[in-house]
Amino acid sequence: MTMTRKKMPAKMRRSVTIEAVLDIAARQNPRDITTAAIAQHMNVTQGALFRHFDNKESLWQAVMEWIEVNLFKRVDQAANEAPTPMAALQAVYMAHIDFVRTHPGVPRIMFGELQRSENTKAKRQAGGVLKKYGARVTTLIDAAREKGEIDPAVDTASARILFIGSIQALVIQSLLVAKDIENITEKAAGVYDIYRRGIEVKR
């Protein structure tokens, strides 16, 4: 039984709040998550949240930071452990899919932020994460190309865009069929297979 103490040190409360947001975002449109809903989810009154965050926007910034740190932790580890660039690319893909499976709210939050019209810091952070991610992918693609693993005819930018799209494809599928998020890993293999065939040098 997890002991949910009534009072918590500020640092712990902040991370619990971020987890609450991620948790709720798995089932609800991130933009519709109210401070009241977050507070209720963690057994605290709504006003208490503002002891730890200046405002809602700064809470979203904290969430985006969490995403950036934890996504790249997983993804970079996967890339580093792979023997070849091509293997790294696939490892990154599967690590990302697994990250999304365990944190279904993350892609919804990312996409929701990118949709926003207001140029908030959280939105810029989301864009920054995606660009940084794209740079990682580009590096791997270029390395694989030099090793002769990728067909020279393949455009790097297109390959990068489709890589991200192939992840997003599975996310959309899981939005359509709710419980597909659990089976996302199996589907991912099939989808990545097509992607790999699309970029690799013909044998």
Q: Contact positions toward its own copies, by CB under 8 A?
A: 27-32, 108, 111-112, 114-117, 127, 130-131, 151, 154-155, 157-159, 161-162, 164-170, 172-173, 175-176, 187, 190-191, 193-199, 202
| Residue choice 34, 77, 102, 158 for contact with DNA (CB under 7 A) | 34
Q: Which of residues 51-70 bind DNA (CB under 7 A)?
A: 51-52, 54-57
Which amino acid would we find at residue 126? A
- What is the DSSP code (8-state) at residue 17? H
Which amino acid would we find at residue 109? I
| Cβ-Cβ contacts under 8 Å for 72 (sequence gap 6 or more) | 132, 133, 136
3-state class of 155 per DSSP? Answer: coil
Beta carbon nearer to its own copies, 12 or 194:
194
Which of its own copies, DNA, none binds 57 (CB below 5-8 Å, type-dependent)? DNA
Residue with tokens 């709504």: 46
| Cβ-contact 129, 67 below 8 angstroms | yes
Q: Which stretch binds DNA (CB under 7 A): 5-13, 90-98, 125-133, 148-156?
A: 5-13
CA atoms within 13 A on the CB side of 95: 20
Which of its own copies, DNA, none binds 13 (CB below 5-8 Å, type-dependent)? DNA
| Distance of closest approach, residue 14 Cβ to its own copies, in angstroms | 25
